[in-house]
Amino acid sequence: MSSSSPAPLSLSEHLQQVTEHLAAARTPRDVFGVVLTPALEALNAVAGAVLLANEAATTLELIVTQGYEEGAQTLWQDGPLTGNVPAGDALNRREGLFFEAQGDLVRAYPELEARTGAVAAVATAVLPMFLDDRPLGTIILDFREPHHFTAEEVRFLRTLAAQCALALGRARLGQTLEARVAARTAELEEQRAALDAFVTYKEAVGGESDVLTLARQAIGVVRTTLAHVSAVYYELDGGYWMARVWSDDLPPEVVAQITAGVPQDAPNFAEAIGLGAPLFVNGWDALANGVPSSSSYGAVALLPLVIRGETRSLFSVGTREARAWSERERALTRAVARGLGVTLERTEHLRALDEERAALSAFARFTEQSTQASDELTLAGLARDVLQATLDVQVGYLELEDGRWVGRVFSEATPGDVTDQARAGVPAGSPTFSRPFEERGVVFVDGWDASGEEAGSGMSGAAALYPYTEDGQPRALLTMGTPKARGWTERERTVFRAVGHSLALAFERLGQTRRVEHQRSELEARTRALEGFAELTRDLMVEDDPYAFVRRAQEVVLSLLPPGYALYYERDGDRWRNRVQTGQVGHEELQAFINAGPLTGVTPSVDTPWTTGEPLYQNAYARGSDTPPQMVQHVGAAASLPVFRRGEVVGVLIAVLFGARPWTPTDRVVLETVVRSLGQALERAEGLAHLAQRTEELRRSNAELEQFAYIASHDLQAPIRAVNSFSEILATRYGAQLDGRGVRYLGFIRESGQHMKQLVDDLLTFSRVATEQRPPSPADSGAVVDQVRRRLMPEVEALGASVTRDELPTVRVDRQQLDQLLQNLIGNALKYHRLGVPPRVQVAAELEGDVWRFTVADNGLGIEPQYFEKIFVIFQRLHGQGAYPGTGIGLAVCKKIVERHGGQLWVESTPGEGSTFLFTLPAG
Ligand code: ADP
C-alpha cells in the first residue's frame, strides 16, 4: 500500500519538506511555489495566492496564484494596503484571518465581491507575513468546502508564513545583491569603455599641442565609439561660443549657425558653465539655445573644459534621437572630454611656462640694459626693443605734453601715417588713453575702434596700454598694437605686463637718481655760495662799507632761491629805511612804499625779527600785513632775519620770493648762516673803521708834531744863535771884567747854548725825515756803509775800533736817509762801547722774502731788555749827558727813516756783551 499510495504527510512532515525546498529557493517566485503547494496540499485547499506589500507598505500586489481557473477573476487583486480588505486587516492586526463557513468572508467584507467582480470561496485563510517587523505580504488559501482550522493547522500555517517570510527576505537580499553585482559590472564595463576611449584619444594625440588638432581628435574618438552622435568643439570669444571644430555629419545650416557663435547666455550653455561639470540634456531646445537649425537633435550634452581654473572652451555631443543619455554614453563622452581637457591643460601649462620664460628673459634683458640708461626715452626705446624681440607687435611710447599725448618712441615697422599722427599728438581726453589711468593699470583693448578717438584711422586693431604717472598725474604711456582686431593672448599680456612693469621700475630708479643728483648739486651750490661768501668777506677785510657786505649777502641768498628780491632795513626814528636792495620788487607803488620808509610798529615782517631777535619765515606771505594788499599780490613767500653786530640787532635782511615756498630746514640753515656771516663781517668792518680812524688821528697828530718840531726848531735857531753869539762876545770882550764865578756862569750859558743848538739841529733833522724825503731809488748800501766809515775814521782810530761789513745789497731808498740811518747806528755802536774793549762793529744783510734785513752788531755796553722800546722814543736816553753826550733823537730819526721806507727797526741785546740793531728795507 505504501508503495502505490503513500500515506498523506503529516503537517510537521510538510513543514520539514517546505524547509528543505525553501533552502534551494532563489527568487521570490521560487519561494511562493515552494510554500503554496504544500500549504494547499496539507490543508486540502483548492487555491491560493500571495500578495506582497511594496517597500513603503502602501499597496499590495498579487504575485502568484495557484489552483484558480485560468482567466478567472479572484478576490485577490492589486490594490491599496488599507484596513478594509482582508489582507490589509491581517497585516494590521498582525494575525491570521480564518473564515470557516460559507458567507463568513462576505459578511466580514460586504463590498469585496462587488469591487473585485469575483465570488468568495466557501472558506478562506489569510496569513500575514512579517520580516523584521515590517509587513511583507499575505498568503491566502481558499477552500471549496467549509473548513475548520484546527489549532494545529493554525500553528502550521503561522510557521509556514514565517518561514516563507524569511525565505522571501533571503531571496530578495540575494536578488538585490545580484542586481548590485550586475550594476557594478555594467559600471565597470562602462568605465573600461571610457578608459579605452580616453586611452585611444591620448594615444591618438601623442605630443600634439595644437588645440584644434586635439579637439578634432577628440571628436574622432567620440564618433568611433558612439557612431550615432555628432560632436563640436567651441571656444569662448567675445561673449559667444564659437564652434572651432565639428564632426562631418553636422548639417551645414547648423555649422553656419554655430560658427557664427552661440550666445554665452544660451540657457544650456550657461547652465553647464555654471555647473562646471558635464550637462546631459535629454530634451534639446534648439530655439531657446540660439541654434534653431539644430532642432533635429533630440539630446545634447555640453561638457565644459576647465583649463587653469578658467572655462573658455566646451566640448559638445548630440544625437538626433530624443532620449535619455545612457550611462555608457555619458561615461564615454566624459572620458573623451576629460582627455581633451587634460591635454589642453598640459598644452596650456607648457605654453604658460614658455610665456613665463619669455617674459622673464625679456624682463632680465630689459633690467640689464636699463641700468645704463640716463633718460626716459632711452629706457622707452629699450622697452620697445625687448617687446619687439619677444612679440610680433608694434610698440609706441607717448608722453603727455600740453594736454596732448605725443609719440616719442616707435617701432620701426610702424606705418608712417601712424607715427606722423602720434608725433602731432592726441588730445589727452581720448577715452582709450584715459582708461589705464582711471583703472590704474594696464589695459588690453581687443577690438580697438580708433574712430572714437581723434587718434585717427591708422591705429586700428588690438591695443594694449601701460600707464606711467608722476606725482599721481598721467605722464606717459607704453603701447603695443597690432593692425588686426583680435584678442591678446595670455603670453602677449604677460610679456607686456612684465616689460611695462620693468619700465615703471626703471623710471622710478631714474627719478630717484635724478632727485639725489639734484639734491647733491643743490647742496654743492649752497656750499659753494656759502664758501664764496665767507671768502669774499675775508677778502673784503679792508672794506669798511658795511653795505657792501649786505649787498653781497643778498646776492648770495638770492642766488640760492627761486626768483625774488632782497631788502635790508635799518631803523631811523619811527621809520624803517631800506639801505640795500638787490633785485626788482616788481611793483612800482610797492617800491615807492619801501623807499618812503615803512613805519615801525606796523610792519611785522621787519618789526618782529627786530624786536624778538628771531628769524621770521612766512611760507605764504601774509599779504596786507605790512603794506596795502594790492601792492603785494605777486609776493609768495618771505624770510626776515635780524642782523646782529656785537650782540645787538642792527638791521633786518628780508628775502622775498614771488612764489610760495615752504622754507625747508636747509633754506633756514643757509639763510641764517649767511646772515650770521654778514654780522661777523659787519663787526670786522666796524673794527677796521675804528682802526682807520685811529690811524688817521695818529697820522694827523704826527703831522702836527712834525710841523711843531719843524717850526720850533726852525724858529728857535735864530734866538739860540743870538744867545750863543752874544755869550761868545761876552766871553771875549768882557771876560776879563768878570770874577771867577761870573766866568763859570758864562761857561754854563755857553754850554747850554751849544746843547740847545744841538737839540734844535737834531729836531730839525728829525722833522726833515718826513718833510724832505726824496723818492726812493736803488742805492748800493755797501757803498753807503763805506762812506759812513770814512767819515767816522778819526773816532775809529782814536778808539782802536774796527768797522767791517759783509757783501751788502742794493736797496730802494732815499740814499741820504740811508746814510743818516747807518751813521746814527754805527756812531752809537762806537759811542756806547765798553771801557777798555776796542769796539768791533759789523754790518750785514740777509734777504727775507722780498725785503732785506740789515744788522748792525757791536760788542759794546748792551741794553737792558726793558729799554728795547724806550730808546727809539724821541729825547729818550739811557745815559747822562756827562757820560755820553747826546740828545736822544738819533734812534727816533732812524726809526722814522726805516718806517718811511715801509720797514721796521728793533734791537736785540745782551747787557755787557753787545747790541744788534736790525732793520728791514725793500729790495732794490
Ligand atoms: P743819543 O745817542 O743821542 O743818546 P740815541 O737816540 O741815539 O740818542 O740813543 C738813545 C739811547 O740808546 C742812548 O742814550 C743809549 O743809551 C742807547 N744806545 C743807543 N745805541 C746804543 C748802543 N749801540 N749800545 C748801547 N746803548 C745804545
Residue 455 binned pLDDT confidence (cut-offs 50, 70, 90):
very low
Give the containing element (helix H, strand E) for 281.
Answer: strand 279-281
Q: Which atom of ligand 1 is nearest to the CA of 824?
A: 7
Q: Which atom of ligand 1 is nearest to the CA of 874?
A: 6
Distance 889 CA to ligand 1 centre (A): 9
Higher pLDDT, 793 or 412: 793
Exposure string of 599-631, with b = 16+ CB inside 10 Å and e = fewer, is ebeebbbbbbbbeeeebbbbeebebeebbeeeb
Name, of 82-91, 240-249, 287-296, the range with top average pLDDT. 240-249
pLDDT at 673: 80
Higher pLDDT, 575 or 763: 575
pLDDT at 3: 43
For the segment 133-140, the average pLDDT, to the nearest whole number, is 88
The answer, yes or no, to whether residue 478 has pLDDT greater than 90, is yes
**For residue range 696-730, what is the model confidence (pLDDT) as tens digits?**
888 887 777 777 777 777 788 888 888 889 989 98
* Lowest-confidence region among 488-502, 537-551, 877-891: 537-551
| Residue 515, number of CB atoms within 10 A of its CB | 10
pLDDT at 579: 95
**For residue range 37-56, what is the model confidence (pLDDT) as tens digits?**
888 888 888 999 988 888 88
C-alpha span between 630 and 718 (Å, rounded): 82
856 lines ligand 1 (CB under 6 A): no
C-alpha span between 178 and 299 (Å, rounded): 32
* Lowest-confidence region among 506-520, 887-901, 905-919: 506-520
**For residue range 754-766, what is the model confidence (pLDDT) as tens digits?**
888 888 888 888 8
Go through the domains of the chain in sequence order and give each one's CATH number. Answer: 11-177 (3.30.450.40), 206-353 (3.30.450.40), 372-515 (3.30.450.40), 539-663 (3.30.450.40), 773-922 (3.30.565.10)
81 touches 60 (CB < 8 A): yes
820 lines ligand 1 (CB under 6 A): no
586 touches 627 (CB < 8 A): no
The answer, yes or no, to whether residue 407 has pLDDT greater than 80, is yes
Distance 884 CA to ligand 1 centre (A): 9
> Which residue, by CA, sits nearest to atom 11 of ligand 1?
877
The answer, yes or no, to whether residue 2 has pLDDT greater than 50, is no
Helix (H, G, I), strand (E, B) or coil at 278: coil
Give the containing element (helix H, strand E) for 408.
Answer: strand 404-410
454 touches 430 (CB < 8 A): yes
860 touches 829 (CB < 8 A): yes
785 touches 805 (CB < 8 A): yes
C-alpha span between 676 and 665 (Å, rounded): 16
Percent of the chain's residues with pLDDT above 90: 35
Exposure string of 143-168, with b = 16+ CB inside 10 Å and e = fewer, is beeebebeeebeebbebbbebbbbbb
909 lines ligand 1 (CB under 6 A): no
pLDDT at 449: 58
Helix (H, G, I), strand (E, B) or coil at 237: strand
pLDDT at 118: 86
For the segment 445-453, the average pLDDT, to the nearest whole number, is 63
Residue 302 binned pLDDT confidence (cut-offs 50, 70, 90):
very high
C-alpha span between 788 and 386 (Å, rounded): 98
**For residue range 325-363, what is the model confidence (pLDDT) as tens digits?**
888 888 888 888 888 888 888 887 887 777 667 667 766
The radius of gyration of the chain's CA atoms, rounded to the nearest angstrom, is: 68
Mean pLDDT over all residues of the chain? 86
Distance 637 CA to ligand 1 centre (A): 72
833 lines ligand 1 (CB under 6 A): no
Residue 542 binned pLDDT confidence (cut-offs 50, 70, 90):
low
33, 39, 45, 49: CA torsion to nearest 10:
-40
Give the containing element (helix H, strand E) for 62.
Answer: strand 59-66
> How far out from the chain centre does Cα 388 lie?
28
Candidate from 832, 868, 913 with most ligand 1 atoms within 8 A of CB, to mutate: 832
For the segment 19-32, the average pLDDT, to the nearest whole number, is 78
Candidate from 858, 891, 910, 918 with most ligand 1 atoms within 8 A of CB, to mutate: 891
> Which residue, by CA, sits nearest to atom 20 of ligand 1?
828
> Which residue, by CA, sits nearest to atom 19 of ligand 1?
828
Residue 300 binned pLDDT confidence (cut-offs 50, 70, 90):
very high
- Amino acid identity, position 870: K
Q: In the structure grid, which three cell numbers stand for residue 416, read together?
A: 608712417
Kindly write down the DSSP assignment for every residue of 125-194, as one continuous string. EEEEEEETTEEEEEEEEEESS-----HHHHHHHHHHHHHHHHHHHHHHHHHHHHHHHHHHHHHHHHHHHH
For the segment 538-556, the average pLDDT, to the nearest whole number, is 76
**For residue range 867-895, what is the model confidence (pLDDT) as tens digits?**
999 999 888 888 777 778 888 889 999 99
727 lines ligand 1 (CB under 6 A): no
Distance 885 CA to ligand 1 centre (A): 10
Residue 458 binned pLDDT confidence (cut-offs 50, 70, 90):
very low
886 lines ligand 1 (CB under 6 A): yes
The answer, yes or no, to whether residue 71 has pLDDT greater than 90, is no
For the segment 667-672, the average pLDDT, to the nearest whole number, is 82
Distance 107 CA to ligand 1 centre (A): 184
832 lines ligand 1 (CB under 6 A): yes
Residue 801 binned pLDDT confidence (cut-offs 50, 70, 90):
very high
C-alpha span between 279 and 262 (Å, rounded): 16
Q: Minimal CA–CA distance to 627: which of 661, 599, 658, 653?
A: 599
888 lines ligand 1 (CB under 6 A): yes
Distance 795 CA to ligand 1 centre (A): 17
The answer, yes or no, to whether residue 819 has pLDDT greater than 90, is yes
Distance 686 CA to ligand 1 centre (A): 40
Identify the DSSP state of 568: E
Q: Which atom of ligand 1 is nearest to the CA of 861?
A: 25
C-beta contacts of 90-93 below 8 A and 24+ residues apart: 90/126, 90/127, 90/128, 90/138, 91/53, 91/128, 91/130, 91/135, 91/137, 91/138, 93/128
The answer, yes or no, to whether residue 453 has pLDDT greater than 70, is no
Distance 814 CA to ligand 1 centre (A): 23
Percent of the chain's residues with pLDDT above 70: 94
Helix (H, G, I), strand (E, B) or coil at 612: helix
The answer, yes or no, to whether residue 1 has pLDDT greater than 60, is no
**For residue range 227-257, what is the model confidence (pLDDT) as tens digits?**
789 999 999 988 899 999 999 999 999 999 9
Helix (H, G, I), strand (E, B) or coil at 803: strand
> Which residue, by CA, sits nearest to atom 16 of ligand 1?
878
C-alpha span between 220 and 779 (Å, rounded): 128
Give me the helix-helix angle, 327-370 and 211-225, nearest 10°.
Answer: 170
Distance 750 CA to ligand 1 centre (A): 25
Distance 847 CA to ligand 1 centre (A): 27
Residue 174 β-bridge partners: none
Query: What is the pTM (predicted TM-score) of this model?
Result: 0.37
Candidate from 766, 841, 871, 873 with most ligand 1 atoms within 8 A of CB, to mutate: 871
- Amino acid identity, position 209: S
Helix (H, G, I), strand (E, B) or coil at 670: helix
C-alpha span between 463 and 485 (Å, rounded): 8
pLDDT at 646: 86
874 lines ligand 1 (CB under 6 A): no
330 lines ligand 1 (CB under 6 A): no
Distance 826 CA to ligand 1 centre (A): 11
